[in-house]
Structure 1
Amino acid sequence: MVFSLRGKKCSKKGPKNELLEGNINLELTIPTHFRCPISLDLMKDPVTLATGITYDRESIEKWIDSGNLTCPVTHQMLHDLNMVPNHSLRKMIQDWCVENKSHGIERIPTPRIPISAYQVSQICLKIVDATEQSDEEKLKGLIRKVKVIARESEKNKNCIVENGAGRVFAGAFDSFASLSMEKYADLLKRILSVLAWMFPFGEQGLSKIGSRTSLQCMVWFLKGEDLSGKQNSVIVLKQLLSLDKSYANKLMEIEGVAETLIKIVHAPISPAAMKASLVVMYNLMEGNEKVMESFVDMGLAQIVIEVVVDGEKSMSEKALGILDQICNYPKGKEIASSYALTMPVLVKKLLRVTELATEFTVSIMWKLCSKNHENLVVEALQVGAFPKLLVLLQVGCVQSTKEKVTDLLKLMNLYKDKVECVDSASGFKYLKGSN
């Protein structure tokens, strides 16, 4: 049985009678009604369902979250999922723990009751009121309160998100940014720190955080020296564009956005900020050649290749996604193909990052090697691309990637005689027989 005994081990003496061994070799029986009917452990936070049966909160929440809508003991349908804290039983369990302290049993602390949807709605009303009154200090206090509640449990955080807190905080951010970014910089930074984990928060919330004023304020933070404001701004922008790319054009209209995002990648303040910046740039460039060219002119192709060299898997995947987009355009393809590290890095990363990263890598190689780029095909052969591509073809991949791999292998077959180090006769034989 799992139980806190300050270094003492628990022993199970029978199917119906669990025993704890104290430090004086006395056996202590846990009262049956103190144990959760699901886990059979001593209850830390007993709650009673509408069926009248009491469970430990953690156990019954897991049961319900798994899709079970019946009472585990009575098998009745749970039409009411409210859980009422059983304070009397919890007090009895705590008293029992204190009485048996000499046996190494620790008192179970009084649990914090999870926040309810109603309580969140009341907090939201106060946030709206503080915003309408331009009450900076009251709003700061509410932000502190929300952070404390969210830190208590993941359930609390989810409840806050699901009941509109993000929407009203987005409104507050837009409102105070409109009044004065400089005057309310500290408050705006604090709002961003909670907005960073409150997505999604509905169309109304998106329209507020995606307003020109809000976007200008976040770019203002990106250009500033405050690391917290800079990081949370780029994370919020990432979330915004990932949910709705229609805000991309509005963001690009703000002066200095592209340069600032590249600077965060080139000289990152944190891994989280760097990843977020890569995602923002990916969304800004997608399908927009003008934006793409502006990023390419600022040296983004070389920067992301260097990120791929040293970045961990998630970082490399995002950087490869951007490079794949860059190679959709002639100028971007030209710059990427002229960079000495490009092909060796791509071949090295094949099959070594993630499935999506491999798809990006194959796509980039296919774009670079097509249109009679003999030197790149030969270079790919020299650094060992052929056997890796053959393995990828054999282990399987999505159809679009499979087609590109086949094209690349056939193309390399034309230049195999120019590369002495390639020893893959059986591979080329396999290729000739494939369709």
Structure 2
Amino acid sequence: MTFSWRRIRGGRGGVGKIESLKGINSYMELVVPTHFRCPISLDLMKDPVTLSTGITYDRENIEKWIDSGSVTCPVTNQVLINFDLVPNHSIRKMIQDWCVKNMSFGIERIPTPRIPITPYEVSEICSRMVAAVQNGDIKRFNELLGKIKKLARESDRNRSCIVNNGIGSALADSFECLARGSIDSNMNLLKEILSSLTWTFPIDEEGISKLKSTISLRCMAWFLKGEDLSSRQNAIFVLKKLIFADQGTVDGLKEIEGIEETLFHNVKIPICPKATKSCLVVINQMLVQEKSGHEIAFKFVQMGLISLILEILVGGDKNICEKALGVLDCICNSKEGREIAGENALTIPILVKKILRVSDTATKFCISCLWKLCLGEGNENGLVEAVQLGAFQKLLVVLQLGCCERTKEKVTELLKLMNLCRGKLDCFDSSTGFKYLNRSN
């Protein structure tokens, strides 16, 4: 098979638009040696590595092959006795020399690749980090953490190897250990660990147990109250990931005095949209897992969370609207929540407006909220207002488009109630029934 370059326009780029050379010969080709090409992609190898079968491939291509679940050599089809990728320095040096020799054809020299970190090296660094913290050798810990962060930045492959070989657990152990002491004294180091924890999930069970301990959660709550925006953001990111990793985290979070006020403050005075979404997720999980009494919901209602949620819904994007509606739906499970939400003049208009405008998830939450607010005696005004705003037509469209069984039941019940209110309206324009079908956000 012939693999060649023609001279590259502009003399740069290695591979790109090509044109023939002009001069004595009207056409000139640069032939790339076959053994410089990866057998998988047929491209010039940038980081040649050799398998146990003796065949050399470009590292990126053979790693994708192995990661896809293949256990054979692509060329020989032999079953691999191991998955070791040995750097082929001889071929790499020959390719680099060839590139230099042919620079006049616009070929750029491939850089010498960095050797990827191994699982063994990651485990060793993690062990040393934990030992350094336990021995009070903060300087050594900082050096090791800096090394890990540098290696993670070098490549996605390195980061994946680091995450999969215990860094999260080591950081969680170190975080709890430092939080046991003076937070003020260890504040800078705790900040660094918190920042690193945002990209080290998933974490094993031992690490999760360290992070969801009372000591660690109190430390995160302390950062959430602080003025450092970066630390507040990292703390809420870690809390969100921790809750999804272990639902038991919520129980520990509820034990922290003033956590509701802290979370409310971080929604009211936002750091960034991503942090606000994460904070709403944490609040939602606290409300979802509230077993009885609705004490947490009552606290949030008293703080004014319903008004804040409605403000968010007015101009929020799809993702944040879904999170905010999820919180509002949970709050409406309590009597106090329904009363305050029903008294707010924006509640019904916003809920009706968001049906079919955001997403299926948002529509489900809107219908659930309306169902809770309009059900029962004394809620006739809410039903009439919803009908006037076009809820009846929109709910008919929801049935036409299809929805889950539980939502369908709520829609059917709402339609029956709204139908009784239609006679009390001076006019009812049924010609607008499907005008919401193709509405964009």
State whether TM-score is above 0.5: yes
Give the whole-Å Cα distance in 2 for the aligned partners of 1:298 and 1:331: 12
Distance 1:9 1:242, change over 3 A: closer
1:345 corresponds to 2:350: yes
CA distance in 1, matches of 2:158, 2:184: 33
Distance apart, 1:424 and its partner CA: 2.1
Letter matched to residue 189 of structure 1: K
- Does the residue aligned with 2:107 lie in a helix, a strand or coil? coil
Correspondence for 2:320: 315
Q: Distance in 2 between matches of 1:357 and 1:245?
A: 23
Q: C-alpha separation between the residues in 1 aligned to 2:15 and 2:51?
A: 33
Q: What SS class does the counterpart of residue 180 from structure 2 fall into?
A: helix
What are the superposed Cα offsets for residues 136-181 of structure 1, whole Å, 9 maximum, x if unpaired? 1211222211111111222222211111111111111111111110
Residue 380 of structure 1 corresponds to: 386
Question: What corresponds to 1:72 in structure 2?
Answer: 74
Shift of 1:69: 2.3
The 3 A distance-change label for structure 1 pair 304 and 22 is farther
SS of the equivalent of 1:129 reads: helix
Alignment of 1:157-172 (within 5 A): 157-172=159-174
Instruction: For 1:422 and 1:69, locate their aligned partners in 2 and report how far apart those are by CA, in whole Å.
Output: 67
Asked if residue 413 in structure 1 is aligned to residue 419 in structure 2, the reply is yes
Is 1:368 aligned to 2:370, yes or no?
A: no
Of 173-182 and 142-151, more deviation after overlay is shown by 142-151
**Gapped regions of structure 2 (runs ≥ 5):** 435-441
Q: Per-residue deviation at 1:23? A: 8.5
* Per-residue deviation, residues 321-351 of structure 1 (Å, max 9, x unmatched): 1111001111101111111111222222222
The ranges of structure 1 where at least 4 consecutive aligned residues each deviate by more than 4 angstroms after the TM superposition are: 1-5, 7-11, 19-25, 425-428
Q: Distance in 2 between matches of 1:225 and 1:23?
A: 66
Does 2:404 match 1:402?
A: no
Residue 9 of structure 1, CA deviation = 6.5
Is 284-293 or 99-108 further displaced after alignment? 284-293
| Equivalent in the alignment of 1:188 | 190
Change (3 A) 1:200 1:107: same
Structure 2 counterpart SS, 1:55: strand
Letter in 2 for 1:383: L
The 5 Å alignment of 1:243-254 reads 243-254=245-256
SS at match of 1:415: helix
* Aligned with 1:222 (options 221, 224, 233): 224
Deviating more after overlay: 123-132 vs 73-82: 73-82
Cα-to-partner distance string for 1:8-30 (whole Å, 9 max, x where unaligned):
8747xxxxxxx985687632111
Please tell me the residue identity of whatever aligns with 1:318: K
- CA distance change for structure 1 residues 139 and 2 in 2, over 3 Å: closer, same or farther? farther
- Rounded to whole Å, the distance in 2 between the matches of 1:6 and 1:216 is 56
Native 8 Å contact 2:212 2:249 kept in 1: yes
Residues 203 and 367 of structure 1: CA distance in aligned 2, closer, same or farther (over 3 Å): same
Secondary structure of the equivalent of 2:30? strand
Mapped contact 2:100–2:108 kept (Cα < 8 A): yes
Offset of residue 426 of structure 1: 10
Match of 1:305 among 300, 305, 310: 310
Q: Which deviates more from structure 2 when the two are superposed, residues 320-329 or residues 253-262?
A: 253-262
The 3 A distance-change label for structure 1 pair 419 and 68 is farther
Q: Does 1:255 align with 2:257?
A: yes
In 2, the alpha carbon distance for the partners of 1:197 and 1:392 equals 39
In the alignment, the residues of structure 2 paired with residue 28 and residue 278 of structure 1 have an alpha-carbon distance, to the nearest angstrom, of: 59
1:2-57 Cα offsets, whole Å, 9 max, x none, are 9996268747xxxxxxx985687632111111111111111111111112211111
Q: Which range moved further: 407-416 or 292-301?
A: 407-416
1:78 to partner: Cα distance:
2.7
Are the counterparts in 2 of residues 9 and 21 from structure 1 also a CA contact under 8 Å? no
Identity of aligned residues (%): 55
The SS at the match of 1:47 is strand
The AA in structure 2 aligned to 1:148 is K
Matched positions, count: 421
Deviation digits for residues 279-338 of structure 1 (CA, Å, limit 9, x no counterpart) = 111111224211111111111111112112222111111111111100111110111111
| One of 43, 48, 62 as aligned partner of 1:41 | 43
1:87 and 1:422 map into 2 onto residues whose CA distance is 80
Alignment equivalent of 1:53, drawn from 32, 51, 55? 55
Which stretch shows the higher mean deviation, 169-178 or 109-118?
109-118
Equivalent position of 1:200 in the other structure: 202
Q: Is 1:6 equivalent to 2:12 in the alignment?
A: yes
2:275 to 273, 276, 279: 273
Partner of 1:433: none
Q: Secondary structure at the match of 1:36?
A: coil
1:105 and 2:107 equivalent?
yes
Could you say which residue in structure 1 is the equivalent of 2:428?
422
Counterpart pick for 2:132 among 105, 130, 133 = 130
TM superposition score normalised by structure 2: 0.90
CA distance in 1, matches of 2:208, 2:4: 46
C-alpha contact (below 8 Å) 2:14/2:107 kept by paired residues: no
SS of alignment partner, residue 279 of structure 2: helix
> Contact 1:389 / 1:409 at 8 angstroms: preserved in 2?
yes
CA contact (8 A) 1:316 1:357 kept: yes
Shift in Å, 1:416: 2.1
Q: Secondary structure at the match of 1:198?
A: coil
Aligned residues: CA RMSD: 2.3
1:93 alignment counterpart: 95
Contact 1:231 1:273 in 2 (8 A): yes
Q: Which residue of 2 aligns with 1:431?
A: none
In structure 2, what is the equivalent of residue 14 of structure 1? none
**Larger mean Cα displacement after TM superposition, 386-395 or 312-321:** 386-395
Corresponding position of 2:437: none
Aligned-pair distance for 1:245? 2.5
Give the drift of 1:272.
2.2
- For structure 1, which segment, 96-105 or 376-385, has the greater mean C-alpha deviation from structure 2 after superposition? 376-385
